[in-house]
Amino acid sequence: MFSRAVQCRSWHSWQASAAFSRSSHRFAIPSWPSSFPRQVAQRQPLQKRHASTNFPDRNTVGVFTPKSAALFILAGVGLFYYFRYEKARLLEQREQERGSKQYGRPQIGGPFTLTTAAGEPFTDQDLRGKWPLVYFGFTNCPDICPQELDKMTAVLDVIEQEHGKIFQPVFISVDPARDTPARMGRYLKDFHPSFVGLVGSYDATKAVCKAYRVYFSTPPDADPAGDYLVDHSIFVYLLDPDGKFVEAFGQAVPKEDIIEKVREVVEDWKKESGKKAKPSLTAYTLLRHSITRFSFLLSSWFLSACVLGVPMDALFKPLADVLGASVDQIKLISCLLIAYPLGSLFIRVPSSKPGLRHLFNIAVAMFFFFPMLKLYSGFFQLLADIVGTYYIARYDTSWRMPWVVFAFVMGHLTVNHIIRAIYGLSYETMEITGPQMVLTMKLTTFAWNVWDGRRPAADLDKWQTTKRITDYPSLIEFLGYAFYFPGILVGPYLDFQEYRSLISETIFEDEKVKARAKAGRKLPPGRKRAAYWRMFMGLIYLGIFVVFGGKYNFGTALTDWFMEHNLFVRIFMFQIFGFFERSKYYAIWILTEGASIVTGLGFTGFSPSGKSQWDGAANVKVLEIEFPSNFKTLLDNWNMKTNVWLRECVYKRVTPKGKKPGFRSSMITFLTSAFWHGIASGYYLTFIMGGFITTVARLARNYIRPLVLPPPGQPPSDLKELYDIAGTLLSTLVLNYAAAPFMLLTAEDSFKAWSRLAWYGHIIIFGGLAFFYGGGTRYLQKLQAKRGIAPAGKKPAPEAKDARNGSPAANGDKTPADAKSFTMPPNLEEAMGSQK
């Protein structure tokens, strides 16, 4: 849960006070023993800290050398005219498309003046600004008119949910002799409430029918008391907000086809002219274009610096000095932002040429590691892991192969964790263990997917069947997967089948996607909107961290200033510190999620309103973490990709054949998670504390929650609402209390911070354990029995399947519903047994 996930390692901010500073190696890159002897410098306070002192004098080497300044100006001028040209070209293209759509369009519709059911005049101008759906009929119609109006009502129910109340259904009578305004009003009450009924004189009716090319047989001198039928055309006319004809739907057209057509034309109209009518869309478009242009300019600047030989650190040092951050931190964020325009270039590489896409990933990753981050040794360490895994998985066909790969890459990662600890490398230093943690998840998952591809399909569960690899990749494809550039530094982690579907774009071959995609494209609309919204939110969280995180963080609890406040104020401030600490995680994860979406990763289908959804690359859900209904919800929505990896590649794989996953499987998974994160003592304090928290949370959910639930079919009671409020409050309190050691790193500082909070987390957690294990469980069970509530218990797990085709140990087929988070250790109930 509170994992020091790889993604944010280099963004930890330390307290401003020099009294609590820790030693750090300045920009050292941990490598093999030959690179160990390096100078170690003392950390400076945040406000005075400089990223590096290893640069030449800024008067001799700086950002604006004559060459770089000249190229910068040329690049800026070039980009200005490029975007100006592109804007003119797009405008011309839109005008051509609009002209082609107008060509051959029938002249249907025109001015009219009729009367509403309320007796008020109504003209064609009253329809401007909305999408009219116009139908001609009469109230005495025995079957066809009611059927068509019912169909229109069904269509409106769907499209108004998707687009809002931008449609105006209109029913125009072709029987002026019998259809009065009052009669029209009574008739339309049985249909959609937004219907407007219109009647008029014979001449007015004839004129509007002529304008819409509607045939009707009512004679001019029809008797209002007569019993006659009227023949008329049966069409529903769709007009745009400018009053121009769009489409006519005959009686044989089903409502599904009408809905699909309306969706299409509304989206097209919005793209062509909707921006003028919606200021919010204009603001969004300007923001997106501004960010895109800035990203392209930034990319050009960096590439120009590489060509001219300008040191990258010299480009970033002024900004690092202003923000009080390290140069490595600024470079990391710059890489994440550059990934956005590079993602737009990636998506333009034809999917029919997968080799080019693989090479694109590799080239961008090398750009990040070499000129940007200067992780030369680190890159080749990653390359060794990748190539080693590729050939181990290819030539070792035994059941031991995934474990050999696991030991190989995890062992290498652990060695680098130890090196980092020995040399006291700070969180301000971008070094190789961050990307290596992401790569470890990818390589071990790949090994298991290959092994699953060699097993009988009948032995696999749903996830294993979907992800199994039966067609071994080429080396270039595997390198492209390993170096997938939006996630190479901080994630997100993805499995090999996800990568393959991204490269080939097979995920977008669904008929629903094709119906919504633009002509000549496979990707559904809405991708850029989703991506740049995440970019915007990521920068918001980054801004929160930059402004507040340096001064208000868990380390502040170690200062004398913190102790000047009373206990309740300290506890309250500590909750605020927790959000500021987590904001850097939110920033990094959300930024990289958006960059992945630009490349097409993360598509998860369409919402009920028809909008494309891009949640497949998400690693965190902020609101579920900051305002959790309970601790389990909080765990399930933090570091979600790591939870998937631990569940599928450890928890389910270590469970013996025919056994239900239990304490042993959970403990092995916990140890794997711990070693994956590192060796700092603070990590283990957080993990162990989390095990006790999950135990108390489960006991409360099993024995207290059933007592406050309302009977089936009844609304929640006041007691249930109080229980939910208490759950959110307690979850937030213990979250920040247990997460503190993870940020403070050492046991000494962790115990000191806890003591200054009067050990409130221990009181809540161990007080709860004492209650439940001291007789509270039995008391609550008696209350449940007295009220006729079924006792809490675990459902029997399904019989495990053979996971290794007869090998000594096999994985469980299913994961228990309450074992979805694996960054915490097993709870006490698994070791001691449930309280009965």
Which 8-state DSSP code applies to residue 808?
A: S
∠251-257-261 over CA atoms, to 5°?
110
Whether residue 738 contacts residue 2, with contact meaning beta carbons closer than 8 Å, is answered with yes
The helix/strand/coil state of 605 is strand
Single-letter amino acid code for the residue at 432: I
Rounded to 5 degrees, φ, ψ at 246 are -115, -55
Query: Which structure tokens are listed for 273?
Result: 């002219």
Q: What is the DSSP string of 133-194?
A: EEEEE-TT-SSHHHHHHHHHHHHHHHHHHHH-S-EEEEEEES-TTT--HHHHHHHHTTS-TT
Contacts of 449 (CB under 8 A, 6+ apart): 467, 468, 469, 495, 496, 497
Cα–Cα distance between 813 and 52 in angstroms, integer? 52
Residue 800 near residue 658 (C-beta atoms within 8 A) = yes
**Spatial contact of 473 and 386, defined as CB atoms under 8 Å apart:** no
Q: Are 86 and 326 in contact (CB under 8 A)?
A: no
Residues belonging to the binding site for Cu cation are: 141, 145, 232
**412 has catalytic annotation:** no
Whats the size of the chain, residue-wise? 836
Q: Which of 25, 412, 677, 762 is catalytic?
A: 677
Element (H, E) at 782: helix 777-786
The encoded tokens of residue 663 equal 């304490």
Beta strands 196-199 and 167-173, pairing class: parallel
* Torsion angle of C-alpha atoms 390, 394, 399, 404, degrees rounded to 10: -30
Measure the CA–CA gap between 30 and 423, rounded to whole angstroms.
8
Indicate the SS3 state at residue 227.
Answer: coil
In the annotated binding site, the residues are: 141, 145, 232
DSSP string, 528-583: HHHHHHHHHHHHHHHHHIIIIITTSSGGGGGSHHHHTS-HHHHHHHHHHHHHHHHH
Task: Let me know: does 800 contact 657? Beta carbons within 8 Å.
Answer: yes
Beta bridge partners of 172: 136, 198
DSSP string, 332-353: HHHHHHHHHHHHHHHHHS-TT-
d(CA 161, CA 255): 15
Distance CA 616, CA 497 (A): 13
Long-range CB pairs of 499-504 (<8 Å, 24+ gap) are: 502/599, 502/600, 502/601, 503/351, 503/354, 503/357, 503/358, 503/477, 504/351, 504/354
For residue 548, the tally of other CB atoms under 10 A from its CB is 17
- For residue 613, the cross-strand partners are 605
- Helices 663-677 and 401-422: crossing angle, nearest 10°? 50
Q: How far apart are CA 42 and CA 56, in angstroms?
A: 21
Catalytic residue numbers, as ranges: 677
